[in-house]
Structure 1
Amino acid sequence: MCRMSVLFRLEQESALRHALERDELELYFQAQGDLHNGRVSGAEALLRWRRGDTVVPPSEFIPLAEKSGLIVPIGAWVIDTACAHLRAWADQGLAETRLAVNVSARQFFAGDLESVVSEALARHGVKPSCLELELTESLLMHDPEATTALLHRLKDLGVSLSLDDFGTGYSCFAYLSRFPIDTLKIDQSFVRDMVTQANTASIVAAIIGLAHRLNLHVVAEGVENEAQLAYLRRLGCDEIQGYLFSRPVPEADYLALLASDTTLPGAPQTAAHTLLLVDDEPGILSALRRMLRQEGYRILIANNALEGLELLAREAVQVVISDQRMPGLSGSEFLARVKDMHPDCLRIILSGQADMASVLDAINNGAVYKFFTKPWDDAQLRERIREAFRVQAALALANPLQP
C-alpha cells in the first residue's frame, strides 16, 4: 500500500511538472472591492491546473508542489504571468489596476525572488506598484531578521506587500511595526463569525484599528453576505474580497466585471460623505474634483472663506479642505472659525504659499487636522481624506450629542 502511495505521488509530481511545460497552468482572478466607493479596486491572481476538461483546484496540487519543490518554478511562472496580464490590460487601455500574487515560504527563501520579480517587471514593462506580493505570518516569522532585509529589497523595487490571513499565525506585533508591509488581510475565519460572535467582532475591530494606526490598508477576505459587508463598512475596513462580490473567474470574466462597472451591494449611489473645498483658484478646485471623482463624495465648492462658512451653516459637512492664502480670511483663520462653530468637521489646509508660522500655530491650537502642500501626491491625498472621514466618523460616534 505504501509503495502504491509513493508511485501515485511520483506520477502526480511528474504530471504537475509536465503541466508547467505544457501550459496547463492558468490564472483565475478574484476581484477586490473598495468599501469606500463600491468599485473594483484590484484582484488576487489564483492558480488553477487545467487537465483536459477538468480544472484542478489548488488545494489538490499546491501541497504536492510545495513538498516536491516545484512551487519555486511555478511561483516564478505565476509572477511572470501576472505581469504579462497587467501589460496586456494596459495595452487594451484599461485603467491601472493592482494584481496580487501569493508567495510561498519555499519560494520566498529560495534566494532568487528579488530577481524573479524585477526581471518580470522589466520584461513586461509593468509599473511596480501594480504588483502586490502576498505573504503569510508564518513565513515572515520563520527568520525575522533575514525576512526584514529581503522585504526591504522587494519594497525598493516598488512593489507592494501584504500580510495574508492575519490573525491566524504568530501575529507578532513587535515585528509588524518593523516589516515594510502595506496591507493586512483579515482571515476569512474571523469574517465568517464576526456578525454573531462578540469576541470575534472585537478582534476584527481591533485589527482594523491597529492597521490604520500603523498606516496600513485593510482587506477582509471571505465576505459572503451583506451583513458581513455592512459590518465591515461600519468598522472602517478599506476593501473586501469574497464570493459576495466575485468568485475566482477566468480572465475574460474578470475583464467583463471591470467593463460592467459593477459595484458592491449597498454601495452608496450618491455620496454618504460630504466634502467642502475652499480655494480662490478655479483651476485648483477643478483638479481636486477631477482627482476625487470616483471616491463617491458629495463635493461642495466655495471660492472664499465666507462662502465656505455659509455652506457649512446650510449643509452637513464632515471634512473641509481650504487654501491658506485667500482674499479676506486666510485658511488658518477660516478653519479656526470652523473649529469653534462646527467642531465635528475635520479640517485640512492645502496650499502652495502657506505662511508656515500661521499654519503651525493653527495646528498647535487644534484648528487644523492635516496640512498638505501644492502640488500634492494624488494617492497620498486621497488616502488622507479617507482617513479624515474615518476619524470624523469615530468622533461622531464618541460624541453622538455633538451639535
Structure 2
Amino acid sequence: MGFSLHDIKIGLDQDEFCFFFQPKISFMTGKTIGAEALVRWRRDGQWVSPNDFIPISEGTGFITLITEKLFGVLISDLDKISREYGKNVPLAFNISAHDLKSRRFYQQVQESLDRGEFDPRNIQFEMTESTVADMSVDSIQIMHDFKNMGITLALDDFGTGYSSLEVLSTFPFSLIKLDKSIVGKIFSSDKAANIIGSNIRMAQRIGMRIVAEGIETCEVYKKLLYGGCHQGQGFFMAKPMETDDFIGFLRKDKQFKGKPIGLVYQSQLDHIQWRKDLMEMFYQIRNSHYENIDYKKDFLFNSLMRDHTRCNLGQWYYGDGKIYQNHIQYKELEKPHENLHREGRLLLEGVLNNRNDDSLVMKISKINKISGEIIRILQDLENRVHHDDQED
C-alpha cells in the first residue's frame, strides 16, 4: 500500500512511530549486550512496512524530521529499559545522510547530552556506505563531533557499497556490520564465506569490532563464532520486538552456547603479522631503504614496538582474552610475549645503531624461538577451548 508524504507527516504528528528492538548478542559471552532500534509505524491498528515510508522520507529529506522526533523517543526508551531492567543496554540508531547535514539534529543530540539525558556509551549511530558517499566536509566534521561526544559510529551493510575500504580509511567508524545478504550465503557460496573471513580479519587488524546481521540458523551462528566475529543479530537469536517484550527478553538472561574460539585463532594471526612486520622493518633498515632514519625510528617505537599491552595480541590478552584467565595456557602466555617485545626492541636498536654482526643473527634466532613458543601456547589454548566447547 502506498503512503503519501502527507500521511507520514500526520503519523509523525500523532506519535504513530515507535521502535522495535532486535537484540545484539556478544560472541564472547553468548549474552545480550545491546539492541538495534528499528523504526516502526502503526497506522489504524496495522503495522506499516518500512519500505512503504522510508524511501519517500529519505527522498524528500523528511527523514530528518523523523530522526529528530524519534531521537527523543529513543532516549526515553533507553531510560525505561535501563530502569526496568536494572542495567544499561546500549542501543543502535540508524541515521541518514540528511541527518548528518542537519545542524538542528546535531544540536539536539549535544543539548540532550549536556542535560545529562543519556550516557553516550549507550548510544550508537549506524550509517550505510551510501549515507557517507560524497559527504561534505561539514557532515564529516559532525561525524567526528559525535565520536568525540563518546557516541559509537557503526558502518552498516558493510560489503554492499563500491568503496568499502575507502570509507573505513576516511571516516571515524569503530564498528562494522556485515550485511545480511553476505552472511546469508556463508554456506552456499565459497566467495561469500571468504569475503566474511577476510572482513573479520581486516577488522581485527585495524582494531575494529565486527557485527554480523541476518543470522538465521545455529550453523551460521557457530560459523561466525569460530571465525572470530565479535557480535551478531538475527532471527536465530531473536526477532525485533516491542519495548516491553525486549525488557522481558533481557530479564530472561538467555545465553547462547559456544566459546569464542575464533578470537583465539585471530590472536595467532595477529602475532604472526607482528613478527612479519618486525622482520620486514629490520631488513629494510639494514638495507638502507629508509631515507629519513630518525623519523622512521620514531615511527617504529610508536607503532610496531609499542608496549606489549597495546599490540593487537596484547589488547586481546588484557581485554577479551581475560575470559580464559583460569586456563594454564593463558597464564603461560604473558612472559614470552613480554620477552618478545623486549627482544624486538633490542633487535631494532641494534640495526638502527648500524650494527650488522653475529649478535643480531643470534637475536633473530632468539626471537624466532620465542615466537614459536607463543604460537604453541595459543594453539594449545585453542585446542583446550575447542575441547571445553564440545563438553558444554
Of 334, 342, 345 in structure 2, the residue corresponding to residue 361 of structure 1 is 342
Q: 1:257 to 1:41 in 2, by over 3 A?
A: same
Q: Which moved more, 1:25-34 or 1:79-88?
A: 79-88
Which residue of structure 2 aligns with residue 238 of structure 1?
230
Which residue of structure 2 aligns with residue 396 of structure 1?
379
Aligned partner letter, 1:189: S
Deviation for aligned residue 1:197 = 1.2
Aligned partner letter, 1:80: G
Q: Secondary structure in 1 aligned to 2:147?
A: helix
Deviation for aligned residue 1:65 = 1.6
Tell me whether 1:183 sits opposite 2:183 in the alignment.
Answer: no
1-side partners of 2:208 and 2:376: how far apart? Answer: 18
Of 53, 70, 74 in structure 1, the residue corresponding to residue 45 of structure 2 is 53
Contact 1:25 1:50 survives alignment (8 Å) = yes
Of 9, 16, 20 in structure 2, the residue corresponding to residue 24 of structure 1 is 16
Contact 1:148 1:178 survives alignment (8 Å) = no
Aligned partner letter, 1:73: L
Higher helix share: 2
Contiguous gaps of at least 5 residues in structure 2: 265-317, 348-373, 384-392
Contact 1:226 1:244 survives alignment (8 Å) = yes
Contact 1:78 1:101 survives alignment (8 Å) = no
1-side partners of 2:375 and 2:118: how far apart? Answer: 37
Which residue of structure 2 aligns with residue 255 of structure 1?
247
Of 150, 153, 162 in structure 1, the residue corresponding to residue 154 of structure 2 is 162
Tell me whether 1:152 sits opposite 2:144 in the alignment.
Answer: yes
Contact 2:332 2:377 survives alignment (8 Å) = no
1-side partners of 2:187 and 2:376: how far apart? Answer: 20
2-side partners of 1:263 and 1:35: how far apart? Answer: 10
Q: Secondary structure in 1 aligned to 2:4?
A: helix
Q: Secondary structure in 2 aligned to 1:50?
A: strand
Q: Deviations over 1:236-261 (max 9, x none)?
A: 00000100011110001110111000
Q: Secondary structure in 2 aligned to 1:318?
A: helix
Of 31, 34, 38 in structure 2, the residue corresponding to residue 42 of structure 1 is 34
2-side partners of 1:74 and 1:257: how far apart? Answer: 27
Q: Secondary structure in 2 aligned to 1:92?
A: helix
* Percentage of identical aligned residues: 27
Q: Deviations over 1:322-377 (max 9, x none)?
A: 6xxxxxxxxxxxx1xxx3xxxxxxx47xxxxxxxxx997367479xxxxxxxxxxx
Q: 1:365 to 1:253 in 2, by over 3 A?
A: farther
Aligned partner letter, 1:361: R
Of 45, 53, 68 in structure 2, the residue corresponding to residue 76 of structure 1 is 68
Q: Which moved more, 1:238-247 or 1:106-115?
A: 106-115
Contact 1:36 1:296 survives alignment (8 Å) = no
Q: Figure out how many residues of one structure are paired with residues of the other and give that number.
A: 302
Q: Deviations over 1:33-89 (max 9, x none)?
A: 001110001000001111122111211111122233321110112222111122223
2-side partners of 1:363 and 1:74: how far apart? Answer: 55
Q: Deviations over 1:106-137 (max 9, x none)?
A: 22223333212223334562111111000111
CA RMSD of aligned residues (A): 3.3
Q: Deviations over 1:153-194 (max 9, x none)?
A: 111221110000001012342441231111000000110111
Of 216, 225, 233 in structure 2, the residue corresponding to residue 224 of structure 1 is 216
Which residue of structure 1 aligns with residue 127 of structure 2?
135
2-side partners of 1:47 and 1:181: how far apart? Answer: 22
Contact 1:184 1:219 survives alignment (8 Å) = yes
Aligned partner letter, 2:323: Y
Tell me whether 1:267 sits opposite 2:258 in the alignment.
Answer: yes
Q: Which moved more, 1:103-112 or 1:25-34?
A: 103-112
Q: Secondary structure in 1 aligned to 2:170?
A: coil
Q: 1:318 to 1:254 in 2, by over 3 A?
A: same
1-side partners of 2:184 and 2:135: how far apart? Answer: 31
Higher relative contact order (CA 8 A, sep 6+): 2
Q: 1:359 to 1:221 in 2, by over 3 A?
A: closer
Q: Secondary structure in 2 aligned to 1:84?
A: helix
